């Protein structure tokens, strides 16, 4: 693998992983908010 290959792999995994984690976190947050709404709880952003 050339240097450029390592750079692409480095940035790709880190930035791609960051994007995936944000998506996963927002998905979990959305599901938790829905469940909280069904229970009639406070669904506003936590203090």
Partner 1 sequence: MKTRVLGFVALTAVIGASINGLFVVPADLNQGDAQRIMYVHVASAWIAYASFGVTALAGLGYLVWRDLRLDALALAGAEVGVIFTAFAIWGGMMWGRPVWGVYWQWEDPRLTTTALLLALYVGYLLLRRLTDDPARRAARAAVVGLIAAVDIPIVHFSVIWWRGLHQTPTFGDPSKILNPSAPLQFVLALLAMLGAFTLVWVYLLIRRYQLGRLAWRLEEAARRGRIAAARGAALGAAGVEEPAR
Which residues form the interface with partner 1 (CB under 8 A)?
Answer: 1, 3-4, 6-7, 9-11, 13-15, 17-18, 21-22, 25-26, 28-29, 32-33, 35-36, 39, 41-43, 45-47
State in angstroms the smallest separation of the CB of 28 from partner 1: 6
Cβ 26 to partner 1 shortest distance, Å: 7
CB of 44 to partner 1, least distance (A): 10
> DSSP string covering the chain, please?
--HHHHHHHHHHHHHHHHHHHHHHHHHHHHHHHHHHHHTT---SPP-
Q: How far apart are CA 22 and CA 38, in angstroms?
A: 24
């Amino acid at each position: 693998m050339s240097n450029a290959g390592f750079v692409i792999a480095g940035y790709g995994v880190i930035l791609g992983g960051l994007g995936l984690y944000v998506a996963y976190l927002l998905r979990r947050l959305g599901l938790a908010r829905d469940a909280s709404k069904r229970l009639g709880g406070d669904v506003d952003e936590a203090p």
